[in-house]
Amino acid sequence: MPSSMSSPQAPAPCPTASPANAVFAAPLGGGLVSLTAPARDGESAGDLLTRLERAVLARGLEVVQATMFCDPQLGADMRAASDFPITWLGRHDTPEGDVRGGRVTALPAGNFTRVRDETGQICGATWRTNDARYLLLGALIPPDLTAPRAAQAAALWRHLQASLGREGFAMSNLVRTWFFNDHILDWYDDFNRVRNAFFTEHNVFGTLVPASTGVGACNADGAALTVDALAVAPLDGRVDITAVASPLQCAAYDYKSAFSRAVECREAGGARHLLVSGTASIEPGGRTAHVGDLDAQIDLSLRVVAAILESRGMGWDDVARAILYFPHIAWMERWEARRAAMGLPEIPATFAHCDICRDDLLFEIELDAWKEAEK
């Protein structure tokens, strides 16, 4: 492996994923708006979150969920003061105080209802449009943090199912999940076995397998894993929800990982929201491609995502937000070089310091894209 890919001893300056580290806003499905901002040099997590909230308020919106890409322990003192769930996302060895960026999802003020879990903690929001009912959940953790990791994973799936049920949603309405597993490389096979068993028990394989991201990140609660999720329940069939295959990769089920490469939600008026799962350098047969070559892995990941976008009549200009996952901070500076070398436009993206689900995968990207209805 090249020497430039050794683990850094200290955090590198935050590389710029968007011009001037501005806040970028873009629509998503169901009226959601995504706002993304890489951190400015020396910016604290609290200041970054405040900057994002001000951008939300300036648009007449309210935050319903947030993800902060930083030292997860920074969230320990900020959770109780928030009226929306915040997922604090960093690796188990993210440097103390490190801040990479943040993303919030927002809705028009007064057009949604906050959702609470069985303990009374706000865990998301529910709302409806003319086409569907929606539920966005964030920062869910297992009820017993002392249980073995696989048991926590099974309990979290049950907790997620119960959270859906309380708001009138079924597992078949689940379109997207984000799993952040502490030390994922130590137990990803166990996690997949638990997920496969749950999907089999509840006939998820017979309905819609959600798009998903599963990366290695710890949390301030000390849970083995945490999850964010989006569910969509169409009204009178007015939203068409379909799994989307990857033209350049096999189905994830082929190597016993139960998620769709992407899911598309087409609204009645023709607008489309494409949710692309975490995508890494995996060849059509399911093996890791370009082992030890960071640049080649970034390039292949981008080609795979481009093919998914093109298969739905979309392109990079339609990207509403993206997360760039790197297991080592020093590697993040390669993103801009590879994006430019491939001739891609700048996208609303931010970096996250996380393990990928295989130790030979060096980069992962996830994104959402939005296409207005054709006139």
Q: Which helix (H) or strand (E) holds 156?
A: helix 149-166
Determine what percent of the chain is predicted with pLDDT higher than 90.
Answer: 83
Q: Which of 293, 255, 260 is nearest to 278 (CA)?
A: 260
Q: How far apart are the first and last CA of the chain?
A: 50
CB contact set of 368 (below 8 Å; sequence gap of 6+): 28, 34, 273, 274, 275, 276, 319, 320, 321, 322
Supply the DSSP string of 21-81, one letter for each residue. Answer: G--EEEE-GGG-EEEEEEPPTT--HHHHHHHHHHHHHHTTEEEEEEEEEE-GGGGTTTSTT
Answer whether 166's CB lies under 8 Å from 210's CB. no
Please give the pLDDT value at position 181.
98
Please give the pLDDT value at position 80.
57
- Alpha-carbon distance of 302 to 367, in angstroms, equals 11
- Alpha-carbon distance of 156 to 61, in angstroms, equals 30
Which DSSP state fits 235?
S
Q: Mean of the per-residue pLDDT values for the chain?
A: 91
pLDDT band at 17 (very low <50, low <70, confident <90, very high): very low
What's domain 17-371's architecture?
A: 2-Layer Sandwich (3.30)
Please write the tens of the pLDDT for every residue from 208-225.
999 999 999 999 899 999
Please write the tens of the pLDDT for every residue from 107-133.
999 899 999 998 888 999 999 999 999
In the predicted structure, residue 205 carries a pLDDT above the cut 80: yes
Which DSSP state fits 203?
T
- Per mean pLDDT, which range of 39-48, 61-70, 248-257, 297-306 is the poorest? 248-257
In the predicted structure, residue 295 carries a pLDDT above the cut 70: yes
**Mean pLDDT on 86-112:** 94
